Structure 1
Amino acid sequence: MSKRKDIIIIGGGAAGFFAAINIAEQHPELSIVILERGKEGLQKVKISGGGRCNVTHAEFIPSELVLNYPRGEKELLGPFHSFMTGDTIAWFDERGVELKIEEDGRMFPMSNTSQTIIDCFLNEAKKHKVEILYNHSVKSINTRENDFSIETSQGVLDCNKVVVATGSNPKIWNLLKDIGHTIIQPVPSLFTFNIKDKRIKDIPGVVAKNVEVKVIGTNLVSEGPLLFTHVGMSAPAILKLSAFGAVELAKFNYNFKIEVNFIRLDFESCIDKLKNFKHEFAKKAIVNSPQFDLPKRLWKQLVLASNINESERWADINRQQLEALSAQLTEAIFHVTGKSTFKEEFVTAGGVDLKEVNFKTFESKRIPNLFFAGEVINIDAVTGGFNFQNAWTGAYIVSQSIA
């Protein structure tokens, strides 16, 4: 025999808890249930930001905030006018969780642990009598004339309204497809580049502070810090490319070439600078006099790759070597041969087609009383707390729509 509830929230993650708590606060008379497939929820919150939970990002202008969403930029502009970063900070502050802003704009709880956010959600859910059913994997979502029947691994639940907040979950996407929604094929969105190249083989941990990276044969370009790792390249310059180029790079099967400009100057301007160095540092060994504020170890590898040996002085190098060094500095080509998940954070592009969601309410345009929050929709962001901000905004607007 089935049990009846007012609202069922599928997904015990950030968006699911946020929606449930906000609905319950406004309507304590409603019976609200969160269905979580595992034995505990909020696992993505737990690992986010290296276990510190990157709650949001200190960007307070909606038109600027949306620029961090490769998919969803246009759709989120209106919602961000209703609930965004400042509202998120206030929401947590009102519940005893103070956030801090780091140098790069990322925001974390003052405690520096994701457990603070998890405890906040669990305490608020308990306080407002939100029921959490663990080990309840959803088998089917059945739409009826005025309500829903949700079949789980532990039995059937009936309800008036359903909120799907499962994140990137292929199984749930298939169930939504079964009831009439279009699902955009998911592909990885936030990943690092695997590169085997002797120039970077021995310099893991080195950071070039401000580079420009282009994917050759495309319009994809990004800039920012670049980190060399044991398997290739990471940090914002690469992660932005992976997010904005998610669909295109998947078509290449993650086998493509990138051009890196390490100093953000063009080839000719670089040649002019190198000629000046040739006179200014004439007696110095080139490998031992890094320029352009580049890390010593990176500079050495780029010099050696330009057919300049370790003992050669600035005064000794010829035009050909100068041009080779300028090319390494401004248009170095690297061959990407695969990808790796960024830390433990697996983000995908794909999900419920944006055309099928009403972004004033986050309700399905196909099925009345079916709502979405978070990455279950075809929205994703670059790293830095932006994916969570999308979750909070969508969940908050869902709660207002239901209320």
Structure 2
Amino acid sequence: MKTYDIIIVGGGAAGFFAAINVAEQNPELKVAILERGKTGLQKVKISGGGRCNVTHAEFVPSELVMNYPRGEKELLGPFHQFMTGDTIQWFEDRGVALKIEEDGRMFPTTDSSQTIIDCFLQEAQKHNVEILYNHALKSITHLEANWVLETSQADFSADKLMMATGSNPKIWKLLEDLGHTISQPVPSLFTFDIKDERIAAIPGVVALDVAISVVDSNLWSEGPLLITHVGMSAPSILKLSAFGAIELAKRGYDFEIQVNFIKQSFDDCLEQLKNLKLDLAKKIVLKSAQFDLPKRLWQKLVLASQMTDETRWADLNKLQIEQLASQLTKAVFHVTGKSTFKEEFVTAGGISLKEVNFKTFESRVHENLYFAGEILNIDAVTGGFNFQNAWSSAYIAAKNMSQS
């Protein structure tokens, strides 16, 4: 049986970040990463379309936590310990410069996730962190002051253990057997499957700023909306899916949403349409898009309002105007399912947050057992926030584990 001071299970972002920081802060410690796959850092590799969305340019902790449907309250303290600015500095100190894009997402200036992977691998080697691939964890035993791990390749012993395996049901089951409570995992970031004539033939169309709510609930969001070949996506939908993860799972992903494409009230829109009827009397409604909407979307909403492709503004009757106002401000769509957002599968669920000390990220159930990243019941909207949780939790846990 091979013995280490600290073993970190999980060769992902949080695992590598923790291992490097432990070894850097206390070089005398013998540190190992156990990774079940042939290679690690696969989620880092695919993040941001292969560019790695390292973090988000939000530098106020109280504002940053608002992007976490689960973990908002618990992460406020940790973000005061290790924040976005600390992440940027950490990477820059190791030769990786980051850039901010218009939407606040931050990427390496190389636009390549390989830059982040290379940084981690070089730092791990520099600080003598052992990386053991193809070591799938089979059992965890707590013997007196030691943790004993059985893997598919060998057995190990460690004084301190960190779990950074992300959303892994097998690992959650092992931790449940050790007395931890697991919040039932459900998908968090996903797009909506919708079959509707109004959007069926216009994939790729983007409405820049909409308001969306789930009918018969308090769930709502706003932002860009993308029409896809299977339904709807983009930040407004993804945010709704994250904050509504548990509720939408209960509904079996069968529900209705109401979309306000112009973020105006029905009455205000109605008034504007009546004015347009006078101002654009001789023009064809279908060919005169309004409210800065994409032409193809405008045309679909017009045709859904009992008009033809030849209807002129002057010819609109009261019912047609009201129906167009309704399509623009409170269009209802039936969601019949979900699709994974790109390859970035995120779940709501994991270790109960009540069982973790967020000053150290140590278990409240077992001494010398630590957690970092998405193994906890913490998840965020898209945009680099899940990685920031990984960096902050891993750094704080590493700081505490490195103390002999």
TM-score band, normalised by shorter chain: over 0.9
Shift of 1:402: 1.2
Per-residue deviation, residues 93-135 of structure 1 (Å, max 9, x unmatched): 0000000000000000000000000000000000000000000
- 2:284 maps to a residue whose letter is A
Corresponding position: 1:180 with 2:182: no
- 2:3 maps to a residue whose letter is R
Aligned counterpart, 2:53: 54
In structure 1, distance between residues paired with 2:102 and 2:282:
40
In the TM superposition, what are the counterparts of 1:347-366 in structure 2 within 5 Å?
347-366=346-365
Corresponding position: 1:269 with 2:268: yes
Secondary structure of the corresponding residue to residue 6 of structure 2? strand
Shift of 1:398: 0.4
Shift of 1:195: 0.1
Corresponding position: 1:287 with 2:291: no
Secondary structure of the corresponding residue to residue 38 of structure 2? coil
Corresponding position: 1:386 with 2:385: yes
Shift of 1:3: 1.0
Aligned counterpart, 1:128: 127
Secondary structure of the corresponding residue to residue 373 of structure 2? coil
Corresponding position: 1:40 with 2:39: yes
Per-residue deviation, residues 283-331 of structure 1 (Å, max 9, x unmatched): 1100100000000000000000000110011001000000000000000
Q: Runs of 4+ in structure 1 displaced over 6 angstroms?
A: none
Aligned counterpart, 1:303: 302
Aligned counterpart, 2:111: 112
Shift of 1:12: 0.1
Secondary structure of the corresponding residue to residue 241 of structure 1? helix
Corresponding position: 1:241 with 2:257: no
Shift of 1:50: 0.3
Corresponding position: 1:216 with 2:212: no
In structure 2, distance between residues paired with 1:87 and 1:29:
25
In structure 2, distance between residues paired with 1:287 and 1:61:
46
Per-residue deviation, residues 63-119 of structure 1 (Å, max 9, x unmatched): 000000000000000000000100000000000000000000000000000000000
- 2:65 maps to a residue whose letter is V
Aligned counterpart, 1:255: 254
Shift of 1:145: 1.3
Per-residue deviation, residues 207-250 of structure 1 (Å, max 9, x unmatched): 00110000001100000000000000000110000000000000
In structure 2, distance between residues paired with 1:338 and 1:319:
36
Secondary structure of the corresponding residue to residue 134 of structure 2? coil
Aligned counterpart, 1:66: 65
Secondary structure of the corresponding residue to residue 120 of structure 1? helix
Secondary structure of the corresponding residue to residue 95 of structure 2? coil
Secondary structure of the corresponding residue to residue 393 of structure 2? helix
Shift of 1:144: 1.5
In structure 2, distance between residues paired with 1:33 and 1:20:
7
In structure 2, distance between residues paired with 1:155 and 1:85:
38
In structure 1, distance between residues paired with 2:63 and 2:307:
45
Q: Which runs of 5+ in 1 are unaligned?
A: none
In the TM superposition, what are the counterparts of 1:83-162 in structure 2 within 5 Å?
83-162=82-161
Aligned counterpart, 2:341: 342
RMSD (Å), alpha carbons:
0.4
Aligned counterpart, 1:26: 25
Q: Give identity over the alignment, percent.
A: 70
In structure 2, distance between residues paired with 1:320 and 1:217:
26
Secondary structure of the corresponding residue to residue 269 of structure 1? helix
In structure 1, distance between residues paired with 2:397 and 2:282:
68
In structure 2, distance between residues paired with 1:317 and 1:29:
80
Shift of 1:163: 0.5
In structure 1, distance between residues paired with 2:217 and 2:139:
41
In structure 2, distance between residues paired with 1:144 and 1:310:
76
Aligned length: 402
TM-score (norm 1): 0.99
In the TM superposition, what are the counterparts of 1:180-199 in structure 2 within 5 Å?
180-199=179-198
Shift of 1:61: 0.2
Per-residue deviation, residues 255-304 of structure 1 (Å, max 9, x unmatched): 00000000111111110000010011111100100000000000000000
Aligned counterpart, 1:206: 205
In structure 1, distance between residues paired with 2:282 and 2:86:
60
In structure 2, distance between residues paired with 1:134 and 1:146:
26
In structure 2, distance between residues paired with 1:144 and 1:271:
71
- 1:10 maps to a residue whose letter is V
Shift of 1:155: 1.2
Q: Which runs of 5+ in 2 are unaligned?
A: none
- 2:312 maps to a residue whose letter is R
Secondary structure of the corresponding residue to residue 375 of structure 1? helix
- 2:186 maps to a residue whose letter is V
In structure 2, distance between residues paired with 1:26 and 1:5:
16
In structure 1, distance between residues paired with 2:279 and 2:54:
49
Shift of 1:17: 0.2
